[in-house]
A and B are shown apart, each in its own frame.
Chain A
Amino acid sequence: MKRMIPISIILFMIIILSGCWDSKELTDISIVTILGIDKEDDKYKVTVQILNPGEIAGDTGTTQPAVNTYTETGNTLIEAIRRLTSIAPRKIYLSHLRIVIFGEEFAREGIGGVLDFLSRDHEMRTDFFFAVAKDYAAEDVLKILTPLEQIPGNNIWGMIKTSEKIWAGVTSVNIDDLVSSITSKGKEASITGLSITDDPEVGSKLTNLEKSLPYTRIETYNEGAFRNDKLVDWLTEAQTRTVNNINGKVQSTVTTIPCGKNGDLSLEVFKTKVEKKAKVKGDTPKMEVNIRVESNIADVSCTVDLTDPNEITKLEKKHEKDIEKTTRDSIKEIQEMGVDLFGFGEKFKMSNFKYWKTVEDEWDEVFSDQLEVDINVDVQIRRTGTTNQSFFEEIEGNMDQEEE
């Protein structure tokens, strides 16, 4: 008993004196979903988009927007974020961050300076995506209110995620992907682009949302190619999809091939497997890319007999050629750009380290001047959907009769 008293006093003091250091009430934090980073006179200009929970989930809607944006500058990212407290009433809470947007100008100057904080801070989760605002500053994108999904962060996150899943137009890039591609010499990063359709000032007002199709909208715009941490150029849609395809990021997409006289046939790709083999012949590096695609017939607007296996084989061949052509063209264009977005360098590093050591420092030149890429495509058409023959034939038949 005599020993119990000091022990219990110590326990009591441990609890009283140490407790609660990390606690933060929900009413003391500002939930940030988008972080925008621009450059202003050698300083970082940080814009945060803070949720207004009462507006989003509250019972009574007011005329306030669902989000508010605050901007502040600082020598480092954290300095600017902490300085935000001079205008924002609550602590900036970054755990629920969805998107980090770089302004184009800032991206062209290099994004390396901010990545350290984003990966070092313990409060951050690692599931937020990166994006680059095309032609605009990040601040402008953050101002824009979005329809349907009231929280722009979730809106953009959803656009990227869905596109990645069913269209492969863009892919999500998280902090781990980005850091590893920026630091690696044999792979460069490509980040989702975001563009604005109209004046951002208009988009920042609630009246923008009063139309069924707002004037000012945020749209994804392919991807921006980075050399190290600097934005080099914007990719076209075909290039973006090729990059994603070769990087094995395509889950499902649609490709369209010409068929018949002037019709089209769309195939829903549901499985893609890509194999990359690096070889060095003499002094020439050679890359072999084997693409295996499984797809379903999704949309037919031409006369074709889908019950005939030979026709299907023909379509497969056509599809193979099509993929091969776009892939070859895109790779050539990207080679001219001189950024190895495919990670071919990584492949060489893994398969032929000796060779890699000799070209490591001038890999960009080797990639654009010497690398030969050999593409083999194998397409399997699995299913033709719930109908066999397209009734397009009959429609065409009717049209022919009318013409007669």
Chain B
Amino acid sequence: MRKWLSKKKEPMEVENIPSDLATPLHKDIDQTIENVKSILGNSSDFVVREFKIGSTQLVKVALLYMDGMASKMFISDYITETLMIDLRLTDLPTGNNADSSGKGSSPNQGNVRKKAKWIKPKVNPQESDLFKVMKDQTLANSEVEECKDYQELFSFILAGDSIILMDGYETAFAIGSKDYESRSVEESSSTTVIRGPKEGFTETLRTNTSLIRRRIKDPNLWIESKVIGKKTQTDVAICYMNGIVSDKIVKEVKKRLDAIDADAILESGYIEEYIQDYPHSPFPTVYNTERPDAICGGLLEGKVAIIVDGTPFVLLVPTFIVDFFQSSEDYYQRADIGSLLRLLRYLGFFLALLTPSIYIALTTFHQEMIPNQLLISLAAQREGVPFPAFVEALIMEITFDILREAGTRMPRAVGSAISIVGALVLGQAAVEAGIVSSAMVIVVSLTAISSFVFPSPDLSSSIRLLRFPFMTLAAMFGLLGIIIGVIIMVMHLASLRSFGIPYLSPMGPLILQDQKDAFIRLPLYRLSTRPRLMNQKNIVRENTDKPSPNRK
């Protein structure tokens, strides 16, 4: 029975750079180039530039890079120019005495002859070994690494670095020259604020780390990198505040990331699915956002951010349910209005989840609970509607979900058509045609607008999912069913943990001191301690007195 559900996982056979490539480079430069070309399948974006350096004893050198991944300007200005022009007048040593392999060493020619007295050579090699001369005195780049075998060579070249091969040497240079087209820092589209920073993360990992670093100028902001995905070789950065974060959580995050054995990580959603605690729960246990300020807020509370190259969505763990009700704007505007809006979001949660089911329950089971006048008006609207309330609600909810999905997927140019169709056809025509009652339209609209009050769209998708079981329960058991559903939901929420910390905290377990920033947001001078369950070390975060005018 279980067999067809999950086949036993077999170890992956396909690897990005086969391990048999872990062989040293050839000494013969032509042979090496030939090998690299054949492995890359003569890809058109692979560029090889062969030239010779030195004055008398010319050394054959080749520059390898991927077009579009590396900066051509950088390569010509700082690599080829240095090697071809600045070294033109320098008599270079050709041997590699220092090479530990000691193969094919040439006689030592440590002397430098000057061709013209008025031209001062740019390089004045003191070293006898060409390799060392190149590395220590010639290549004036900040990122220079040695590369000894094909496997390393490919990992550099495919990441956008340039490779310099020298004839007669088994070691090549990899020079950091990554530069590819990317989006600039723009306003985040998924979460918008009225007051607060507008910039959002981009697809480039380095830009994203800089956005965080710029906000927290503290040496304790540690960023660790990892490459995940055998084919995609995606850079993933783990970012946390050393000294604030719990070491257990960092360890757990690293452990889970290390356990990922996949060939592709195309978005942080992949990482989220691989590391989340409860894959079958409709509730997200990993938070994601496009906003650097939200990530910084999380880091300062002792959370761990996971930045994935290629996506502006940064993950934040551990995550609690209250996180989905909090907007970074809550902290930028006054505490009272921030608290009010937060309470409104909690109300919105229940409205979005339960409005259709309560409507169904009241109109099919508990008519005695509806005030007389309202019942009459509801009954008048339902007069002539051919479907039971449940079917009516189902039709409208599904139509709305289709509309919403269509609005997200369809090209911007035809977007306005959707709103016309939605407003007119669904709102007005369906009521006039007597297919649905106008009260149902109100219920669906209320549900729809309530599900948009959350700063993060993740929770509203859980609600979208849960709404239908609740409607079914309401249609079958009335309010009793709804209450049972709510009880089951709360029990499930109470059983969830995100990276070891209860999902419902600070409500379950009840932590009184953390209530200051759960349902309401107290003024900043009252938020003096970090969330207790995550922080045991560095607890106090501010110590400002309540501001008051100086009255003398």
Contact = CB atoms under 8 A, between A and B. Distances in A.
A and B are partners in one complex rather than unrelated chains = yes
Interface of A: 1-2, 5, 15, 18-20, 22-27, 29, 31, 33, 51, 53-54, 56-58, 93, 95-96, 98, 123, 125, 151, 154
Nearest to B368: A95
Chain B: interface secondary structure?
helix
B343 to A, nearest CB: 33
Contacts of A93: 367
B389 interface: yes
A23 B475 contact: yes
B475 to A, nearest CB: 7
A33 B365 CA distance: 19
Nearest to B371: A96
Contacts of A5: 1
B376 interface: yes
B364 interface: yes
B43 to A, nearest CB: 47
A93 B372 CA distance: 12
Contacts of B2: 1
A320 B365 CA distance: 54
B380 A25 contact: no
Nearest to A18: B476
Contact of A26 (B363, B475, B477): B363
Nearest to A94: B368
A58 B380 contact: yes
Interface string B364-400: 1101100010011111111111001100000000000
A31 B383 contact: no
Interface residues on B, range: 20 to 34
B506 interface: no
A152 to B, nearest CB: 13
Contacts of B383: 27, 53-54, 58
Contacts of B1: 1-2, 5
Contacts of B378: 26
A120 to B, nearest CB: 16
A57 B376 contact: yes
B475 A27 contact: no
A27 B382 contact: yes
Contacts of A31: 367, 375-376, 379
Query: 8 tightest A-B contacts by CB?
Result: A19-B476, A95-B368, A57-B380, A53-B379, A53-B380, A57-B377, A26-B382, A23-B364
Given A24-B367, A96-B367, 13 more contacts: A19-B476, A22-B478, A23-B476, A26-B363, A27-B385, A33-B372, A53-B376, A53-B377, A54-B380, A58-B380, A95-B368, A125-B368, A151-B376
Interface string B453-478: 00000000000000000000001111
A123 B379 contact: no
16 contacts: A1-B2, A1-B5, A19-B476, A19-B477, A23-B365, A23-B478, A26-B378, A26-B379, A27-B382, A27-B385, A53-B376, A53-B383, A57-B380, A96-B372, A96-B375, A123-B368
A33 B376 CA distance: 11
Contacts of B385: 27
Contacts of B389: 25-26
Contacts, number: 78
A51 B382 CA distance: 14
B363 A25 contact: yes
A21 to B, nearest CB: 9
Contacts of A57: 376-377, 379-381
A25 B376 contact: no
Interface in B187-229: none
A299 B476 CA distance: 60
Nearest to A123: B368
A4 B552 CA distance: 74
A56 B382 contact: no
Nearest to B362: A26
Nearest to B476: A19
A154 B374 CA distance: 13
Nearest to A30: B379
A1 to B, nearest CB: 5
A373 to B, nearest CB: 42
B263 to A, nearest CB: 29
A95 B367 CA distance: 8
A25 B385 CA distance: 11
Nearest to B385: A27
A15 B478 CA distance: 13
Contacts of A95: 367-368
Residue of B364, B378, B384, B478 contacting most chain A CB atoms (<10 Å) = B364
Most buried by B among A23, A58, A95: A23
B507 to A, nearest CB: 29
A2 B1 CA distance: 8
Contacts of A1: 1-2, 5
Nearest to B363: A26
B475 A51 contact: no
A25 B365 contact: no
Contacts of B384: 54
